[in-house]
Amino acid sequence: MNLAVPFPDLTLLRATIAVRAQFFIAGALFATWGIHVPTVKLHYGLGEQALAMAMLASGVGAVLTLTQAGRIVGRQGARRMAMLSGALCAGSLVALLVSQSYAVLLALMVVFGIGMSLLDVSINAAASELESLRKRNLMSGFHAMFSLGGMVGAGFGSALLSRGVDAETHLVVTSITSGVFVLLAGLVMLQTVAGSSQEGHGFSLPRGALGLLGVLAALGLIAEGAMYDWSVLYMAQELKSAPDFAALAYASFSGAMAAARFGGDWVRDRVAPAVLMSSSAALAAVSMAAVLLIAHPVATLIGFALVGLGFANVVPVLFGTAAKLDANPAHGIAVVASVGYFGMMAGPPLIGVIAEHSSLSVGLASVAVFAAILALAAPKALSPSR
């Protein structure tokens, strides 16, 4: 991003901590939705296909917003947009169970998708700028905080559910706390100013190198989104796990992603992107296939953790690369994210439709399929010649 003045090391360190906090909060907010998928299904009396359409509404809001996210974040600044979009996400979750109208649910999911997409682009643009200013790989570490936030958010929700705390109370406590912290963290982020490189980019169809990165992002996020949206319901519905134990499905996946991402920058310094991407996706494919074949709750938690390890560095590598390919990091990220989130948008509804006509186990087999395709496609798309 275009910065007004050089920043001293202490300011950069504080800003780095603040952006890590924003990633953590984003992960916790996303996890709060994820662990309440069964709650929403029961509250609104939905089948898998209707639930999938609600997820699709969130994806539609996200993808449509991403067509202008690079311009919006560039013009308003990552700091301001992170605070506004974080508050928007928290507000939509507070109202999640207030009504029993399916139309209200769809509207809330659109708002949630808008907020999450703007928050995602904002904090990734801020992370890319800090990588540039500090002259070191940081992106995997930032995304580790998202996964850690997901693990903590899911674990917290599981603990409350096991103690008989109702879903409405959990949503209110988590949303208000997250909203407060997203505002406090935003105050410590770097202050950016608008400039010509920030304002001149609207949405353009991805092509060339950014287009290839977008395709890989779509493959990874289809599978990752399926894990976020369906893993808890799989444990509860297919394996008949108790709600508090089922919530650990999300925690195991996110926790493993966090662990891998904390070491991801060290790995990225030593392993070529194509090799890292291909081997990681292969691990995810094999692990997901094993989960579905064994179909045991404990084995499933272990398998979901291995799937998380496999997907851990897909987004950090792709977003970090995209940010370096465009003069406006927010625009490069938004272009790749728009294609990636189209995959995340299409994935959960696709699984829902399959589950409605077959079973959720069959639907989740697509995670293994998309991970395998990603493993095969990565070497060509991320080869040094490109």
Residue 296 has what pLDDT? Answer: 92
SS (H, E, C) the chain: CCCCCCCCHHHHHHHHHHHHHHHHHHHHHHHHHHHCHHHHHHHHCCCHHHHHHHHHHHHHHHHHHHHHHHHHHHHHCHHHHHHHHHHHHHHHHHCCCCCCCHHHHHHHHHHHHHHHHHHHHHHHHHHHHHHHHHCCCCHHHHHHHHHHHHHHHHHHHHHHHHCCCCHHHHHHHHHHHHHHHHHHHHHHCCCCCCCHHHHCCCCCCCCHHHHHHHHHHHHHHHHHHHHHHHHHHHHHHHCCCCHHHHCHHHHHHHHHHHHHHHCHHHHHCCCCHHHHHHHHHHHHHHHHHHHHHHCCHHHHHHHHHHHHHHHCCHHHHHHHHHHHCCCCHHHHHHHHHHHHHHHHHHHHHHHHHHHHHCCHHHHHHHHHHHHHHHHHHHHHHCCCCC
pLDDT in tens, the chain (386 residues): 444 446 668 888 999 999 999 999 999 998 888 888 888 999 999 987 888 888 888 878 887 887 788 788 888 888 999 999 999 999 999 999 998 999 999 999 999 999 998 998 899 889 888 888 888 888 888 988 988 888 888 888 888 878 888 889 999 999 999 999 999 999 999 886 544 444 444 555 566 677 788 888 888 888 777 887 788 889 988 899 888 888 888 788 878 888 888 888 888 888 888 888 899 999 999 999 999 999 999 999 999 999 999 998 888 887 777 777 665 666 777 777 777 777 776 777 778 888 888 888 988 998 899 899 889 888 876 665 55
Residue 60 has what pLDDT? Answer: 84
Other Cβ atoms within 10 Å of 385 Cβ, number: 4
pLDDT digits (tens, 9 = 90+) for 319-335: 777 777 665 666 777 77
Q: Which two tokens stand for residue 169?
A: 């109370």
Residue 179 has what pLDDT? Answer: 92
Residue among 20, 18, 47, 51 at smallest CA distance from 33: 51
Domains of the chain: 9-381 (1.20.1250.20)
Residue among 311, 259, 315, 257 at smallest CA distance from 128: 315
pLDDT digits (tens, 9 = 90+) for 182-207: 999 999 998 865 444 444 445 555 66
User: What's the rounded Cα separation, in Å, for the pair 306 and 260?
Assistant: 10
